[in-house]
């Protein structure tokens, strides 16, 4: 898991009104510390203190105070290439309130904030394991729903999503995908978003961006080659998309996150940026 923003015990006034009609790229963990009203998609929840939400990427959501000052803890994170199996097997409800029995998760977020501000040599690895621990803690608090209905297309959707994340270079086409399932495009899009909390188009985008981040950090491939491996035939298009997703252009992202990029990679990335 890559944690790129987090906050512990953020306090707001009683007239707090946060509306995100397009959601955020990247997943979120929100732990509400006071009473509050949170809208996830088309459903609004009035929640008690110590309520957690796991929010899927790009899900429209709103946060309102509920008659008193509002406070929460939060983490924005993205799965890395090896995290998708873990998330797929995690038995938690996404985009719904999960009542926590104590402040254990809040304390872990406070500890994660301390680590994120430290100079520890393996800070990224430590935060990765802390995020896993938080998700497992929430899973233990969330009672499984034994009466959850299984959809006829569940297994096919699972295999499709695996293929999307295993093959980010492929030219995915939504009408063609729907046709392989013998259903309409609108029906497919509805089923996919109901199951994963994100549209298939945005999930394809996320798979490419997460793979790009991995290649920028772990390899010396040029940004042009990385763009090609992530399904982009135009470096300029890739660079704009990546900058929107990661808030930094590819070369700067590599410089900030790669421990010691080779001189060849630095020269190649610099040339790519100059050409954009």
Indicate whether 270 pLDDT > 60. Answer: no
Q: Is the pLDDT score of 151 beyond 50?
A: yes
Q: How far is CA 10 from the centre of its chain?
A: 21
pLDDT in tens, 219-245: 889 989 999 999 999 999 999 999 888
Show the CA angle centred on residue 53, arms to residues 199 and 100, nearest 5°.
150
CATH top-level class of 2-141: mainly beta
pLDDT at 41: 83
| Phi, psi torsion values for 259, nearest 5 degrees | -60, -50
Task: Give the residue, 239 or 121, on which the prediction is more confident.
Answer: 239
pLDDT digits (tens, 9 = 90+) for 71-111: 999 999 888 777 877 887 888 888 889 999 889 999 999 99
What's the rounded mean pLDDT across residues 164-169? 90
Distances (CA, A) of 119 to 19, 115, 124, 126, 164: 34, 8, 11, 12, 36
Delimit the domains of the chain by residue range. Answer: 2-141, 149-276
pLDDT of residue 49: 92
Of 137 and 265, the structure prediction assigns the larger pLDDT to 137
- Radius of gyration of the chain measured on its C-alpha atoms: 20
Q: State yes or no: pLDDT of 149 exceeds 60.
A: no
Residue 139 φ then ψ, to 5°: -60, -40
Q: Which residues touch 105 (CB under 8 Å, ≥6 apart)?
A: 29, 31, 52, 73, 134, 137, 138
Give residue 265's pLDDT.
Answer: 46
- pLDDT of amino acid 108: 94
**Is the entire prediction scored with pTM above 0.85?**
no
Tokens representing residue 56 in the block: 């899927």
Which CATH architecture describes the domain 149-276? Orthogonal Bundle (1.10)
pLDDT for position 101: 86
pLDDT 10s digits, 254-263: 888 776 444 4
How confident is the model at residue 109, as a pLDDT? 95
Residue 162: CA count within 13 A, CB half-sphere: 10
Distances (CA, A) of 258 to 119, 146, 185, 228, 261: 15, 44, 40, 20, 6
Tell me the average pLDDT of the chain.
85
Give yes or no for residue 70 having a pLDDT over 60.
yes
């Amino acid at each position: 898991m890559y944690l790129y923003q987090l906050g512990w015990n953020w306090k707001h006034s009683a007239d707090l009104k946060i509306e995100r009609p397009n959601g955020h790229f990247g997943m979120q963990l929100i732990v509400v510390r006071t009473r509050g009203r949170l809208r996830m998609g088309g459903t609004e929840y009035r929640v008690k203190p110590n309520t957690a939400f796991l929010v899927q990427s790009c899900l429209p959501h709103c946060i309102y105070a509920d008659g008193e000052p509002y406070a929460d803890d939060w983490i924005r994170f993205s799965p890395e290439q090896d995290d998708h199996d873990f998330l797929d097997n995690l038995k938690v409800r996404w985009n719904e309130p999960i009542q926590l029995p104590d402040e254990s998760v809040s304390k872990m977020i406070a500890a994660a904030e301390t680590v994120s501000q430290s100079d520890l040599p393996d800070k990224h690895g430590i935060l990765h394991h802390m995020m896993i621990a938080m998700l497992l803690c929430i899973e233990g608090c969330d009672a499984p729903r034994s009466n959850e209905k299984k959809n006829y297309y569940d297994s096919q959707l699972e295999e499709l999503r695996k293929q999307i994340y295993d093959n980010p270079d492929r030219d995915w086409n939504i009408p063609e995908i729907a046709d392989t399932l013998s259903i309409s495009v609108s029906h497919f899009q509805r089923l996919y978003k109901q199951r994963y909390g994100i549209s298939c188009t945005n999930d394809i985008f996320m798979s490419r961006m997460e793979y790009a981040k991995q290649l920028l950090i772990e390899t010396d491939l040029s940004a042009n080659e990385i763009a090609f491996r992530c399904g982009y035939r135009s470096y300029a298009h890739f660079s704009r998309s990546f900058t929107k997703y990661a808030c930094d252009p590819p070369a700067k992202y590599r410089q900030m996150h790669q421990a010691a990029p080779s001189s060849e990679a630095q020269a190649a990335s610099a040339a790519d940026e100059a050409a954009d």
